[in-house]
């Protein structure tokens, strides 16, 4: 199997396909700005945060008067510095410039790390293939069910093709891979540079993505203990302690109450995978699992949950399941390997165990992001295991086996691209709102009041939906650069802001006929601007509220509060 020629074509193809999930979004079309897939919410949120951080403060852009809390801001802070000093559009930077860079770096660093570790170009190439194209077996299940090829997240986890939809996750992969590269170099040569860079990249990972930082620290602790027991060597313990100190210094200021977000909910993902129509949806198994659990029929419950867990693991890992062979060694055999092997084994194991036991309050599915790292590093190990199997085979057999893995791996990538290739996007920012928000962005800073998100109207809207009817998003803040009184309740839930009382107060303001009460609401909450779409208004007349119209077109009216 020739590998030298395949590195760059593989990285270029992987980069292009990954980037296609992003680069069409945020551009201007005849109807306004278009957003494909999750970019209509997640991408818009990041742009709002980047805009806010670029002003040199840590204010929450969608919940005025509060600072950012319980969030890993490293990625957005980095982009905000670029926006601030280069004066580039956050949308252009986020959607068109950064994705190809991240995708290329992940491929290059995967290849470099595996080559430094294993000294094998073939293993490096196969590992890079799985990192770029690894997919679930959801496509196979949906095909058997007569639903066509699809099902990327049928078993709950997103797959490789969706990596850039979560750019902090993508950036954290880069820091973890760099940390591993310098760990490998440090094991070969204990220099101050390797020591410092390893601590920097491992320590900063938690600032970019909390899940990455916690997994890295778990792995470092395990490797340190392994080295102490195996070699009576305490050098990695020092690295672990310093990396942990760096992580704590970066993590605590923005995540002081994050521990309260975690809830002990064993096997929630297995139960919801079986019960949800948009997941695996095996109702009989779900009924059996929960019935046995509630009836304390523990033997049958154990068997039922074991079947569900097997489906979860095999379904999500897809062809990467071959990589788990190396993790299923006897403890004594695994213990006799090296620090990199221990690091990766613990990272994969912890990434599986945590979401099996814990969920996040408000948004229980968020802890599945621990599992993303298990899939990525499971893909790296899969590449190594495949080459172990291939290297003694003839070229003809190698070609057949590689073709098999490609055939059963890439359908997830092909199927998932359907979300990003339609001519029309799933959500848009219409021209009229673009004009209004551009005007508002040039006004002095102030708190903006918007109408609450209307889920009922959104359910009746026909795609492509305007962002205000897509879901609760941060679009007014994102494209005006202003602080919003209340917007994007989805992220407010995740970050545990008390937004419900604020929404009630807005409804009260809109419905009251008491002029004094309405004006007090505006004054007490420092509302400077009101952003109303066509047919949106309060019951009290604008003049009685002390509002001055400063902008109007066929879609939007903007008022300034006197």
Give bridge partners of residue 360 from the DSSP assignment: 262
455-to-140, 344, 387 alpha-carbon distances in Å: 34, 43, 51
Alpha carbon distance 173, 73 (integer Å): 15
Q: Whole-angstrom Cα distance, residue 220 to residue 132? A: 26
CA distance to 68, 395, 409, per residue, from 73 (Å): 9, 48, 33
Which tokens is 245 given? Answer: 């100190």
322: tokens are 């071959």
CA nearest to 409, candidates 319, 321, 285: 319
pLDDT of residue 28: 93
**Domain architecture of the chain: domains with CATH:** 4-40+89-419 (no CATH), 427-561 (3.40.50)
Q: Identify the residue whose tokens are 């540079």.
A: 193
Distance CA 293, CA 246 (A): 42
pLDDT at 257: 63
Digit-coded pLDDT (tens) for 19-28? 999 999 999 9
Distance CA 183, CA 161 (A): 28
Query: Coil, helix or strand for 253?
Result: helix
Alpha-helix residue ranges (DSSP H) falling in 119-191: 121-133, 138-144, 167-188
Half-sphere exposure of residue 391: CA atoms within 13 angstroms, side-chain side: 12
Give the Cα separation of 450 and 527 in Å (integer): 10
Backbone angles phi and psi of 273, in degrees to 5: -60, -40
- Edge to edge, the sheet with strand 32-35 lists 28-29, 32-35, 427-430, 465-466
Sheet bearing 483-484, strands edge to edge: 483-484, 447-450, 527-533, 556-561, 547-552
Q: Alpha helices of 339-447 — where are they, by DSSP H? A: 339-357, 369-390, 395-409, 411-416, 431-441
Q: Coil, strand or helix: which one is 450?
A: strand
Q: Which of 318, 280, 321, 322 is nearest to 411 (CA)?
A: 318
β-pair partners for 338: none
DSSP single-letter state for residue 548: E
371 φ, ψ (degrees, to nearest 5): -70, -25
Rounded to the nearest angstrom, the gap between the alpha carbon of residue 528 and the centroid of all alpha carbons in its chain is 34
**Which helix (DSSP H) or strand (DSSP E) does residue 549 occupy?**
strand 547-552
Question: Which pLDDT score, from 0 to 100, does residue 1 have?
Answer: 47
* 449 contact partners, CB below 8 Å, separation of at least 6: 484, 485, 506, 522, 525, 527, 529, 530, 531
Q: pLDDT digit string (tens) for 108-157?
A: 999 999 999 999 999 999 999 999 999 999 999 999 998 888 889 999 99
C-beta of residue 187 within 8 angstroms of C-beta of residue 233 = no
Contacts of 429 (CB under 8 A, 6+ apart): 32, 33, 35, 437, 466, 467, 475, 479
Ranges under pLDDT 70 in the chain: 1-5, 256-260, 329-336
- 534 neighbors 479 (Cβ within 8 angstroms): no
Of 271, 558, 297, 290, nearest in space to 437 by CA: 558
The pair phi, psi for residue 170, each rounded to 5°, is -60, -45
């Amino acid at each position: 199997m020739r590998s030298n020629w395949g590195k760059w074509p593989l990285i270029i193809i992987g980069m292009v396909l990954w980037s296609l999930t992003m680069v069409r979004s945020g551009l201007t079309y005849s109807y306004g700005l278009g957003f494909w897939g999750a970019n209509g919410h997640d991408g818009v949120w990041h742009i709002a945060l980047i805009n806010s951080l670029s002003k040199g403060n840590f204010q929450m852009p969608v919940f005025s008067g509060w600072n950012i809390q319980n969030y890993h801001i490293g990625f957005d802070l980095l982009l905000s510095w670029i926006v601030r000093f280069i004066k580039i559009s956050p949308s252009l930077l986020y959607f068109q410039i950064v994705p190809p860079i991240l995708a290329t770096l992940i491929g290059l660093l995967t290849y470099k790390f595996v080559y430094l570790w294993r000294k094998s170009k073939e293993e490096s190439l196969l590992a890079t293939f799985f990192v770029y194209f690894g997919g679930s077996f959801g496509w196979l299940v949906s095909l058997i069910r007569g639903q066509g090829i699809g099902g990327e997240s049928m078993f709950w986890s997103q797959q490789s093709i969706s990596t850039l939809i979560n750019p902090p996750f993508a950036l954290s992969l880069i820091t973890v891979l760099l940390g591993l590269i310098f760990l490998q170099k440090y094991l070969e040569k204990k220099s101050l540079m390797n020591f410092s860079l390893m601590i920097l990249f491992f320590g900063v990972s938690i600032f970019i993505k909390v899940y990455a930082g916690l997994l890295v620290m778990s792995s470092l602790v395990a490797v340190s203990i392994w080295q102490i027991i195996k070699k009576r060597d305490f050098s990695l313990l020092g690295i672990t302690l310093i990396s942990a100190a760096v992580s704590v210094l970066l993590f605590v200021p923005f995540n002081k109450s994050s521990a309260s977000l975690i809830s002990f909910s064993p096997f929630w993902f297995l139960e919801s995978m079986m019960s949800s129509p948009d997941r695996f949806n095996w109702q009989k198994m779900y009924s059996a699992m929960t019935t046995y659990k509630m009836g304390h029929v523990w033997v049958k419950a154990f068997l039922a949950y074991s079947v569900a867990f097997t489906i979860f693991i095999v379904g999500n890992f897809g062809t990467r399941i071959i990589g788990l062979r190396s993790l299923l060694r006897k403890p004594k055999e695994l213990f006799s390997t090296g620090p990199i092997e221990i690091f990766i084994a613990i990272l994969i194991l912890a990434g599986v165990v945590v979401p099996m036991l814990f969920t996040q309050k408000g948004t229980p599915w968020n802890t599945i992001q621990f599992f993303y790292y298990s899939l990525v590093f499971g893909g790296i190990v899969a590449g190594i295991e495949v080459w172990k199997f291939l290297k003694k085979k003839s070229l003809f057999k190698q070609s057949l086996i590689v073709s098999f893995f490609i055939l059963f791996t890439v359908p997830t990538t092909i199927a998932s691209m359907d979300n990003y290739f339609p001519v029309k996007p799933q959500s848009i920012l219409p021209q009229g709102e673009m004009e209004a928000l551009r005007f508002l962005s040039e006004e002095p800073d102030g708190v903006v009041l918007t109408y609450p998100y209307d889920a009922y109207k959104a359910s009746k809207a026909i795609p492509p939906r305007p962002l205000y009817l897509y879901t609760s998003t941060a679009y007014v803040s994102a494209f005006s650069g202003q602080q919003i009184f209340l917007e994007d309740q989805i992220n407010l839930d995740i970050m545990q802001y008390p937004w419900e009382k604020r929404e009630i107060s807005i409804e009260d303001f809109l419905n009251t006929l008491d002029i004094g009460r309405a004006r007090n609401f505006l004054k007490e909450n420092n509302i400077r601007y009101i952003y109303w779409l066509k047919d949106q208004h309060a019951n009290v007349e604008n003049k009685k509220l002390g509002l001055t119209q400063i902008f109007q077109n066929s879609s939007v009216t903007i008022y300034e509060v006197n």
